[in-house]
Amino acid sequence: MSSQPAASNANPLPAGRTALLDQLTAELDAPALWWLSGYTAGLAQRHAPALALVRPAETSVPAPTPITVLFGSQTGNAKRLAEAIATRIDGSGRAVRLLRADAYRLRELGAERHLVIVVSTQGDGDAPDDARDFIDHLLGKRAPKLPDLKFAVLGLGDSSYPKFCEIGRRLDARLAELGASRWLERADADLDIDTVATPWLERIIALASTLDAANPSAHASSPSATITPLRPPAATPTCSREQPFAAELLIDQRITARDSERDVRHIELSLQDSGLTYEPGDALGVWPTQAPALVDGVLDALQLDGDAGVAHGGQTLPLRDWLTQHRELTRLNRSFIVEHAQRAADDATLQRLLGEDAREDLARALNDRQLIDLLQRHSAPWSAADLVGTLRPLQPRLYSIASSMLEVGQQAHLTVAHATWQRDGAPRHGVASHHLATSGQDAKLRVFIERNTRFHLPVDGDRDLIMIGAGTGIAPFRGFVQERAATGARGRHWLLFGNRHARSDFLYQLEWQRALKDGSLHRLDVAFSRDAPRADGSKPYVQTRIRQHGRQLLAWIESGAHLYVCGAVAMGKDVHAALLDVLDTHAGMDREAAEDYLRDLQRQGRYAKDVY
């Protein structure tokens, strides 16, 4: 991004220091590198006279205050958009800095002049983990007055939840309350993110360009420095979210017993010739297609011709193709229910569902029902064009990768629960898990890598790991142990795993037993909630084991262990509560002190959660 001209292109570092710097930056992601560049620039300014980084003729020109682009992201979407905004601004030569929310120095907030925030909302109103401190600070009493700040907030969310884009709304309102003015009105993006985010991004770029009109010397007076990289930049993969790779399905194996209530699959995909790489903790994005039977059900319910051509967004496709490959059918959202209710004006039940007194009923309907249930229960007229224009675009699903490339080579392994159930006697399923489970061996699946830098292994192989997972949340930990065994890491590994039944649902049981035997796993504690209850009648969960072994767990943490949690959102909250209890019982901390302790672990990168 924009910088002062360098005194020389030659490497000024003393002998041996380049290697140290190379080692320091090897594991840093883009936000951390941008933060580091700002930190070192600040150090350089302290010695500016000696280094003569600024030409004397230019010292009278004040450096422009950069536009700060801040993001809070759980699954990577907010990060992707924030990077796009920063790249566009930087490409125009304007000063900009890109920061993840937990890398932002809160004391700088009062000095900001232009702040762009891209933030996701998780589930029903929860903040992404990497933005919690920033949000708490902004909403708290210590937040400064901000009369000189112009801000813009882009919220991401899922309108299947009642508190759609709640975090973006709260930040937008609080910044205005603190005296800041809106540089651009807040936008709320649903799962079809780009339909809202793209025009909003273009408006931000246009507004950024007007800053130069007001202050033409802001960035034009001094050319950018020539930077010699420490190592050649890595080649950008040709495959991406927008251009997925067609991965061959190598293995689709059920790893729960036949009488298990859940059908969990171990899936292996080939990444050969894709150029894609990943680290344990990253996710694999899968672009699914809708099941033919579901598409037929929607067409029958609406009495529409699947072969009819429909023009939308600059392309014309048969309606069946739109519904199969491009439209969301398994997730309901409030906006579609509202539109359907307007078309079924005489349907009192549907109208009542949207009333103010029926929020819980609506939330339950959004969670439990699918599009086909709505169409079959409440008839309303739809044209093919209106249906395509109203339904949300089909989105990829992300799965934690359950392997290490050091162990499996050009493959990616997944642990997928095939989501199937009955609704009024008819089969229902999740779109991506059903797609994966029914494609058949040798099928080609469209995939891409989604980085999850907050859930990566520590650089120091001597660090101990505490891995807490329930159900398919065990997936990344399989990759962790494979990676650490392959690199010869000396740190210990403690796995706490929970599921329903030991006999039928102990995922990768033989692998974990082998790992205990060969020393790549040092401790294993399990909890099976549907087996024999405890003496008091309660069911054992992973949080039960956390409380039982709290003293040892705290000892590991105090000696520097990294703590990882993976599983459903509710499980993540229960684990967090159990950790607070451990700190109360074994460290004598009150609730506030315990929360501060865990937040500090998160800041250090030693407490990471991957919840869904």
Ranking 27-31, 213-217, 586-590 by mean pLDDT, the lowest is 213-217
Ranking 90-94, 149-153, 510-514 by mean pLDDT, the lowest is 90-94
> Tokens representing 575?
């684990």
More confidently predicted of 58 and 457: 457
Percent of the chain predicted with pLDDT > 70: 84
Mean pLDDT of the chain: 86
CATH topology of domain 17-220: Rossmann fold (3.40.50)
pLDDT in tens, 18-40: 555 655 665 555 555 555 655 55
CA torsion 255→259→263→267, rounded to 10°? Answer: 20
DSSP one-letter code for 500: S
Given this model, what pLDDT does residue 51 score?
Answer: 31
**Identity of residue 345:** A
Given this model, what pLDDT does residue 60 score?
Answer: 45
Q: What is the pTM of this model?
A: 0.79
Given this model, what pLDDT does residue 74 score?
Answer: 81
What is the band of 64 on the pLDDT scale with cuts at 50, 70, 90? Answer: low
Given this model, what pLDDT does residue 441 score?
Answer: 83
CATH topology of domain 292-388: NADPH-cytochrome p450 Reductase; Chain A, domain 3 (1.20.990)
Q: Which residues pair with 426 in a beta bridge?
A: 423
DSSP one-letter code for 135: H
Given CA atoms 330, 336, 337, 340 in this order, what sign does their dihedral have? negative
Q: What is the spatial distance between Cα 408 and Cα 374, in angstroms, rounded to a whole number?
A: 44
**Identity of residue 505:** D
Given this model, what pLDDT does residue 7 score?
Answer: 35
Segment 71-100 shows an average pLDDT of: 89
Per-residue pLDDT at 430 exceeds 90: yes
Ranking 61-75, 132-146, 436-450 by mean pLDDT, the lowest is 61-75
Three-class SS of residue 153? strand
Segment 541-566 shows an average pLDDT of: 97
Given this model, what pLDDT does residue 177 score?
Answer: 95
Per-residue pLDDT at 216 exceeds 50: no
pLDDT in tens, 326-363: 999 998 888 888 899 889 887 887 877 777 667 777 77
Given this model, what pLDDT does residue 538 score?
Answer: 81
Segment 60-72 shows an average pLDDT of: 77
Q: Which sequence spans correspond to the domains of the chain?
A: 17-220, 245-288+396-450, 292-388, 453-611
Q: Secondary structure of 312-333 in the HEC alphabet?
A: ECCEEEEHHHHHHHHECCCCCC
Given this model, what pLDDT does residue 36 score?
Answer: 61
Considering 201-210, 279-288, 437-446, 524-533, the range whose residues carry the highest mean pLDDT is 279-288
Given this model, what pLDDT does residue 38 score?
Answer: 52
More confidently predicted of 212 and 133: 133
Minimal CA–CA distance to 162: which of 122, 124, 192? 124
Given this model, what pLDDT does residue 502 score?
Answer: 94
Q: What is the spatial distance between Cα 209 and Cα 318, in angstroms, rounded to a whole number?
A: 42
Q: What is the spatial distance between Cα 477 and Cα 403, in angstroms, rounded to a whole number?
A: 8
Given this model, what pLDDT does residue 55 score?
Answer: 34
Per-residue pLDDT at 144 exceeds 80: yes
Ranking 21-30, 61-70, 494-503 by mean pLDDT, the lowest is 21-30
Q: What is the spatial distance between Cα 73 and Cα 58, in angstroms, rounded to a whole number?
A: 39
Planar angle of CA 237, 242, 246, nearest 5 degrees: 70
More confidently predicted of 303 and 50: 303
In the chain, the N- to C-terminal Cα span, in Å, equals 34
Q: Are strands 245-254 and 444-450 parallel, antiparallel or unpaired?
A: antiparallel
CATH class for domain 245-288+396-450?
mainly beta
Segment 126-155 shows an average pLDDT of: 91
453-611 CATH: 3.40.50.80
Per-residue pLDDT at 566 exceeds 90: yes
Whether 154 and 200 have beta carbons less than 8 Å apart is answered as yes
Per-residue pLDDT at 2 exceeds 50: no
Given this model, what pLDDT does residue 93 score?
Answer: 80
SS3 content of the chain, % helix, strand, coil (to 5): 45, 20, 35
Query: Do 17-220 and 453-611 have matching folds?
Result: yes
Whether 132 and 579 have beta carbons less than 8 Å apart is answered as no
Per-residue pLDDT at 222 exceeds 80: no
**H/E run at residue 511:** helix 509-518
CB neighbour class for 236 (10 Å; exposed up to 12, middle 13-18, buried from 19): exposed
Per-residue pLDDT at 10 exceeds 70: no
What is the band of 133 on the pLDDT scale with cuts at 50, 70, 90? Answer: confident
More confidently predicted of 10 and 143: 143
